[in-house]
Structure 1
Amino acid sequence: MINTIKDIINASVSVKQQLLADEKILSTVNTLVDVITDAFKNGNKVLFCGNGGSAADAQHLAAEFSGRFYIDRDALPAEALHVNTSYLTAVGNDYSYDVIYARLIKGLGQKGDVLVGLSTSGNSKNVVLAFEEAKRKGMITVGFTGATGGKMKDVSDYLLNVPSIDTPRIQESHILLGHIICQLVEEKYFNGK
């Protein structure tokens, strides 16, 4: 059992070492810090979506902006789109689960807002449809996916495709990359760094 635990930890470390060596992903994270900071400075918001564990990660990252990360500061306008269960169950029942996020983007999204979608496969239909609607509205789309990027690759303005096909390892890296972005946006927005 101890060896299995070590193997899992080593697998997680290996994916993070690949991220560390991936200049494209590092550059994209750096660019996203500027993109998200500028969106907040321009009065726009950052919206998050995902399913299952990715929904939990989306909600976690939204809370880092709307709550706080390291700095005791004002809230930033960020929200996870799945937190209204009455809406989700009504739209899922009356229309389709596939459109739960796209309908919200159509109603709430504004040009210049940022939509961050998390999907380990990159193929979550409700996230892809939300990205398509966001692009029609002039929003910026940011995909957090696994290695291939899936269908989200083609509808993401910025793609963070973690070099793994193992769902837990991808999600661990999504939180790592999301935390880096939250920390650096907070520093840049509030301290001008």
Structure 2
Amino acid sequence: MGTRAYVREHVGELHGVLAALQRQADRLDRWGRELVEVVDGGGRLLVAGNGGSAAEAQHLTAELVGRFLGERRPLSAISLHAETSTVTAIANDYGVEEVFARQVEGHGRPGDVLLLLSASGRSANLLRAAERARECGLRVWAMTTSAPNPLVDLADDAVVMPGPSTSAVQEGHLMAVHTLCVAVEAHLPAARGARSTDLTAVQARRREASA
């Protein structure tokens, strides 16, 4: 397939992805509200994926710990696949199917949220993590494909994107990640935003004092 033919075909796939994102906007808004409630209650978000989905999962945690659109306080979000020494140690000692599940058991607490990203919904290490999370009392969310798959069956809730290509699903997930960030910031209490603004002012004064 030539480049132009690929682009035409892929743009057609993305029409379905955009429609799916619109249909699931309310779900993502609810996720944002629920995630704020979890973090405000002392909980955290754990996120994991493989390959390109790992990159998108880490994109999400970067936006939440940092910021997306506006100034606000940092939120507790951890990318399990980014713990390279831990991942390789667990894979070496327990096998690759345990690389996320063991971290979920170690870091997760009842009421926390585990978000798993998978373009196939069939990755064994993510399925094991979902099972372990449910055993430990965590809420399990998934971003995956719209085809029936075991990850959807294990998750408490899922945002699903149509294929047929892996790249279309992953690009849909990236848009969903950005939408979730918007939802989180929209549902943060005003007082939290005020504190973030105050912190920014303090940091500015410190920079001026050290100049």
TM-score, with normalisation over the residues of structure 2?
Answer: 0.84
Match of 1:162 in 2: 161
Is 2:101 the counterpart of 1:102?
yes
Cα deviation for residue 127 of structure 1 reads 0.8
* Cα distance change of structure 1 residues 6 and 148 upon mapping to structure 2, 3 Å threshold: closer
**Superposition pairs for residues 85-124 of structure 1, below 5 Å?**
85-124=84-123
Is 2:8 the counterpart of 1:6?
yes
Match of 1:39 in 2: 38
1:16 is matched with which residue: 18, 27, 52? Answer: 18
Structure 1 or 2, whichever has the larger Rg, is: 2
Is 2:146 the counterpart of 1:147?
yes
Aligned partners of 2:111 and 2:137 also within 8 Å? yes
Q: Which amino acid aligns with 1:11?
A: E
State the Cα deviation string for residues 94-143 of structure 1 (Å, max 9, x = none): 11010011100111100111100001111111111111111111111001
Please give the secondary structure, in 2, of the residue aligned with 1:73: coil
* Cα distance change of structure 1 residues 186 and 18 upon mapping to structure 2, 3 Å threshold: closer
Cα deviation for residue 87 of structure 1 reads 1.1
Aligned partners of 2:121 and 2:144 also within 8 Å? yes
Q: Which amino acid aligns with 1:187?
A: A
Cα deviation for residue 153 of structure 1 reads 1.4
Aligned partners of 1:149 and 1:159 also within 8 Å? no
**Structure-2 separation of matches of 1:29 and 1:8:** 24
Q: Which amino acid aligns with 1:126?
A: N
Q: Which amino acid aligns with 1:4?
A: Y
Q: Which amino acid aligns with 1:186?
A: E
Please give the secondary structure, in 2, of the residue aligned with 1:82: helix
Aligned partners of 1:19 and 1:163 also within 8 Å? no
Cα deviation for residue 14 of structure 1 reads 3.2
**Structure-1 separation of matches of 2:46 and 2:9:** 35
Alignment RMSD, CA only? 1.8
Aligned partners of 1:145 and 1:159 also within 8 Å? yes
How many equivalent residue pairs? 190
